[in-house]
Structure 1
């Protein structure tokens, strides 16, 4: 028996230096990773329709940068591929990260316990309060956050979760990581690992310049939207917040892959 999972790294085709750095890491960790060439729209008009643009402007009072739109479309395209693949879960990452020790074993452990989550970040950009949801056999914990950790630098996603996120993000209004963070809307089970197995690398962002809000009326509207979001999130969190952590038992499939890792064999076996 095998776990149907896969590793994908989103990277601009022209980002040769970034790809080379990531490829060296993948080789060092003994994993086979597919590069997905990030989408680069020539202009926002090429990628976002008038309806989406209007909704975005009503909510934020500023357009998304071409880089933000490209990032948005790239993650969604990978989600589509996951849905079509028949695999159970994928590990999806961007090209500005460093993989820590234990990364590969944790990916397989998460995949073998995929019934307990929909999205798991292996790192977050903030350290808001974290509440234990589940303890994996290795000791790694899945942590709930009322306020999500932000960023999609590296995360695990189930096929069902990908389908739900595709439906949730069909209109381009929020930045893609913000859209994922809105758990009170899509109601997926979002967690972050403790400890984290990925860290960011200091690189120049490819997202581009984000214009600020200059209109006083828009700043007032933004505060109102944030207050509404905060209220909706609080109501959702009060109902779903874990009360006590659960302990997951060792999975035979994970044990098999851990043993293969220890013997230096391939970590990706897509044969059934």
Structure 2
């Protein structure tokens, strides 16, 4: 399987980091030149994107990130292979990661997307599934935001390109937010523990790329949130109760998706 890493021309340090990660894991990376939000034409194009359902507009950074992912999807389609991997350029990879790239027999036949990354948040993952290199692979049954490392089938990459000729939501929201159009129509799997994590969420000290902004953080050019909302005790209790009931209904695990 080919692995495509998106990287800004002005950040050769991040490309060097990812080449080291890939070499250590024992697989090859192909570089995709990222769309740079600092270029005036990119910022101008971002300003023309329709607002999201909540009225906020996508920032130039999120716009560049989305189009970088679209370039990677195009590369998957053009590769002629049945699957391809997409990585952002600040990923930390767990031991054994290379085996996931160098063989594809473990990928379920019905998988549209396999999410290999975690943000260290809770998500519902089906108890039923398969064991892959000591990890559990099950259907992702709830939102789990983050688009730093995932596998797409070529058919799904082609479908996503058609779906996103026009877009207004950040790319990881499009892929992994259960309330948006793609998620309910796709077979999405999550690997647990996740073998990839963004550097900003590990202890490595890798910096967050300017063009890859997490959807939990501020990503909007005009008036979006600046940090995750704070829950009161009652709200937290109600949410946890609701998710525990949902776990029973779905037959899922509802746990923090850890890295490892």
TM over 0.5: yes
Preserved CA contact (<8 Å) 1:89 1:114: no
- In the TM superposition, what is the alpha-carbon distance from 1:132 to its structure 2 partner? 2.6
Match of 2:193 in 1: 195
Aligned length: 215
Q: Distance in 2 between matches of 1:111 and 1:92?
A: 18
Match of 2:129 in 1: 134
Higher helix share: 1
Q: Distance in 1 between matches of 2:33 and 2:172?
A: 19
Is 1:22 aligned to 2:33, yes or no?
A: no
Query: Any idea what SS the aligned residue of 2:124 has?
Result: coil
- In the TM superposition, what is the alpha-carbon distance from 1:111 to its structure 2 partner? 5.0
Q: Distance in 2 between matches of 1:24 and 1:243?
A: 36
Bigger-Rg structure (1/2):
1
Within the candidate set 36, 41, 50, 1:40 is matched to: 36
Match of 2:210 in 1: 206
1:126-167 residue CA offsets vs partner (Å, 9 max, x unmatched): 222322342135443222333222111111111011112112
1:72-109 residue CA offsets vs partner (Å, 9 max, x unmatched): 00101111121122111111101111111111113345
Root-mean-square deviation (CA, aligned residues, Å) is 3.0
Preserved CA contact (<8 Å) 1:133 1:141: no
What are the equivalent positions in structure 2 for 1:102-121 lying under 5 Å apart? 102-110=96-104, 112-121=106-115
What are the equivalent positions in structure 2 for 1:178-189 lying under 5 Å apart? 178-182=173-177, 185-186=181-182, 187-189=185-187
User: Which shows bigger deviation, 68-77 or 17-26?
Assistant: 17-26
Query: Any idea what SS the aligned residue of 1:205 has?
Result: coil
Can you give the 5+ residue segments of structure 2 that lack an aligned partner in the other structure?
Answer: 201-206, 225-245, 254-260
Shift in alpha-carbon separation, 1:106–1:81, aligned structure 2, 3 A: closer
Preserved CA contact (<8 Å) 1:129 1:146: yes
Match of 1:166 in 2: 161
Shift in alpha-carbon separation, 1:61–1:113, aligned structure 2, 3 A: closer
- Give the alignment's TM-score, normalised by structure 2: 0.72
- In the TM superposition, what is the alpha-carbon distance from 1:47 to its structure 2 partner? 3.0
Shift in alpha-carbon separation, 1:212–1:142, aligned structure 2, 3 A: same
Shift in alpha-carbon separation, 1:65–1:131, aligned structure 2, 3 A: same
Query: Any idea what SS the aligned residue of 1:98 has?
Result: strand
